[in-house]
Structure 1
């Protein structure tokens, strides 16, 4: 039987993996939107497959001969934004789980967040940082929009470097109203335009939640020292691997990432892609803004 991380690597159906990971996950992203008695009515919208029948307005059906769903919300409703680092370094594979990469793992975790947002009635949108550009999918609600987000995530390949600061700033125009921003990447490039954007969003009162992904081999500095390596994002120079120097520099780098996140009240979780994605998802949604590692 496949482990949950192996399922991420071997399944071509992102929706299937999301349903597997979310099985038994009971909590949401925030208190946010609620429905039911005593909650203020907001609007009607057309019924879409997946909506609960108890929310259909049957009197309006009798008058209009069409299905409509009542939307209601509290003032605490926020939008959820998914930000994916899809640069070349995210193609780094696991050395222990065949065909599993950091990008695959990040796509699944962000897809799960989108599914939770849809389940609790939030609007959600997507920004993919890849190849010096930022692809933007506006926020919307409902099952159909969830399928659009899953399809966009499923079609992403790792390529290039992060967009320039001006490109990211133009893509983050959703920052006008505070929301939840869930960012998944490896943060090997820090400080960076993406790091600056995250800190700026936090200053604008967004709840910024960063998921920093590693492979187990990266965490243990367990690489073959014989071959030479080329940086996939910089190109050019070949490097020989020195495990001791690598471990020191890596620790110093991610200490800086964690320190900057603590200083700016950004919730940071560091995790390995070989870990069960359901466990990492639970930890990511619960981690306080002080920096943490998933066990």
Structure 2
């Protein structure tokens, strides 16, 4: 899709993402001089995160000064918080990868109108890959239209995930979930940048992705890119309410439906910080054929996206 055909707000988001990507790429050439801090145990932030976020916010507010901003590093400190339009920003998703020189990280920018994501950009600066979508107009990687994969059997599916890493996370519970998924799929991968993981579902590299403990800026942009590519996104129970639920499941329609009964017993209980105590052992997951609630999330598919081939 040519830049002339893109929505004006999406063009501004792309400009902001590329500006942040330039800062990140320059910094990646000399990682030894970067100052690294920690927001919490194993949750790192660098001066590069802050610089990238600053240029994104500057670019967005120059174009739309009345819009609201929700950014990972500065929260809701910028823009007009009463606006119906809110930009949701992760300036450097995959900071831990970045500070180790592992080239798997991205800039994520989404625009929500009254809580519904309308524009989305995820930019991989190391590969110069630009994933983008406008609601009802399809999802793209650079100029190539994206479609989710055609796979329909869970046993053939490659699934992405993210491991818990914070103090208080219920690691034993997650390992049981990991074991359940690993034994019923073709493989599980964990690159370490959720925004890119979601785009990989849209591009058909993965057939599904799930993770707990995520914030809105981790998933807002990628969720629209997936639905515009013909996929589904929701929480572990198969409902469309996921943006603020700290859990996300995304995938091709058929694979998504088979993962819901596997993940449902673990919904919102992986993290002991949310439950207040370590939960008891999970009940045995329902067989994939049961597929409970799998039809409840069809509304998360973009109305403008054509039916996915499956």
* TM-score, length of structure 2 as denominator length: 0.26
Q: Which has the larger radius of gyration?
A: 1
Structure showing the higher helix proportion among its residues: 1
Question: Which structure's relative contact order is higher, taking Cα pairs within 8 Å and 6+ residues apart?
Answer: 1
